Amino acid sequence: MASIELNRLILHFSQCKRAEGKSEKTILWYQERLSGFIKYLNISAINPVLANFSLENARDFIVYEQSRGVSPFTLQGTARALKAFSTWLHSEQYTEGNEFINLKMPKAPTRMIEPLTSEEIEKLVSTQNPLTALGSRNVAILMTLLGTGIRESELTNIDFKDAHIEQGYLKVLGKGSKERVVPIGRLGQKLLWRYVFHFRPEPINELNNHLFLTLDGRKLEPNAVKLLLKRWGKKAGVPRLHAHLCRHTFATDFLIYNCGDVFRLQQILGHTTLEMVRKYVHYASAHTLIQGNVASPIDRMGIKGLRSYKIDRQLRNNGDGD
């Protein structure tokens, strides 16, 4: 076993993931990160075989990547891929134990992602003409992303038969080929009806019968939506616009406007655990804290000496003197 090439094991690992129903995008993600480890072994003149898939080499690899300036978020993903591969090796009895269970995640800064504001959304909408085929479709796409929190790929893969607009929901196929139902809201219904009734072209064939189509009736691909949002955001003065920001905005606003609890949000977003939802709870709490004009403890102490400060009067007097 010790002499088996890691490349062969990664191919076996990939096939097992396909059998489990993982998407090709997810499999490619694993392959890229595990291949980076093999490249490091080759650079370090270490034979890339199972015997050298060790915790020590993994830690050295992460340190090497840090020295190259690789993002800590990318390094966290690499560590997760290594741990998943190690767990699989143990479950398939290639190794006696799961040595990478002790591999800790590299630390990464916690960043506050600001959701889109109502002003930014107004700017985006104002640049489109909803009475044209292109404008109607684009606004419907944006409002669907903001009103449901679905992913870019989920949006483009919605079959027309799964768009239950009259009943107020869409059926989407998420990660791991798991179906779920997402509500679209009254405004979403209105905009989707306008697009479907007046502007949606006939699909060129049954295979292209998706909810959102190109102007000539073809399936709208995820990359096309990515480019659309990028160009649209730049034109409207909201250059940070992208599909995942819309998902983040939906999740944060869902909690801020009390649209439901965290368990309902978890179902709508399609997360298997509450771990990701907790992040949105943190963002929503921070936003509420800022907007709520919360008093500071120092405000409540009633420090008499500070009350006698005539700061405004002193500043005005100093200004007059100047």
What average pLDDT values come out for the chain (322 residues) when binned by 10 residues? Answer: 91 93 88 95 95 94 93 92 94 90 83 86 95 96 96 95 95 87 94 96 91 96 96 96 94 88 91 81 71 60 60 58 48
Domain boundary among 56, 75, 102: 102
Please indicate, yes or no, if residue 304 is contained in any of the structural domains: no
Say what the pLDDT of residue 114 is. Answer: 86
Claim to verify: residue 139 and residue 280 sit in the same structural domain: yes
Task: Give the pLDDT confidence score for residue 318 in this predicted structure.
Answer: 63
Q: Judge whether 83 lies within some domain.
A: yes
pLDDT at 306: 59
Which pLDDT score, from 0 to 100, does residue 23 have? 82
Query: Do 31 and 158 belong to one domain?
Result: no
140 and 275 share a domain? yes
Query: What is the pLDDT at residue 228?
Result: 97
The CA-based diameter of the chain, rounded to the nearest angstrom, is 87
In the prediction, which pLDDT does 290 show? 57
Q: How far apart are CA 316 and CA 322, in angstroms?
A: 10
Q: What DSSP state is assigned to residue 309? A: -
What would the two tokens of residue 268 be? 């709508």
pTM over 0.75: no
pLDDT of residue 269: 92
Q: What is the pLDDT of residue 109?
A: 74
| pLDDT in the model for residue 22 | 83
For residue 204, what is the domain's CATH number? 1.10.443.10
Place of tokens 């085929």: 133
Whether 317 maps to a domain, the answer reads: no
- In this structure, the answer to whether residues 225 and 79 fall within a common structural domain is no
CATH number at residue 63: 1.10.150
- Residue 158 included in any domain: yes
Return the beta strands (E) in the chain as ranges: 163-164, 169-173, 179-183
In a domain, 310, yes or no: no
Are 179 and 287 contained in the same domain? Answer: yes
Same domain, 219 and 79: no
pLDDT score, position 274 = 82
For residue 29, the enclosing domain spans 6-102
In this prediction, residue 149 carries a pLDDT of 95
pLDDT score recorded for residue 296: 60
Distance separating alpha carbons of residues 310 and 290, to the nearest angstrom: 28
Please check whether residues 94 and 170 belong to one and the same domain.
no
Does 122 share its domain with 97? no
Q: What per-residue confidence (pLDDT) applies to 313?
A: 57
Give residue 282's pLDDT.
76
Please check whether residue 149 is in contact with residue 250, taking contact to mean a CB–CB distance below 8 angstroms: yes
Sheet holding 163-164, edge to edge: 163-164, 169-173, 179-183
Q: Residue 32 falls within a domain, yes or no?
A: yes
Distances (CA, A) of 6 to 73, 87, 138: 25, 15, 46
Q: Are residues 98 and 122 in the same domain?
A: no
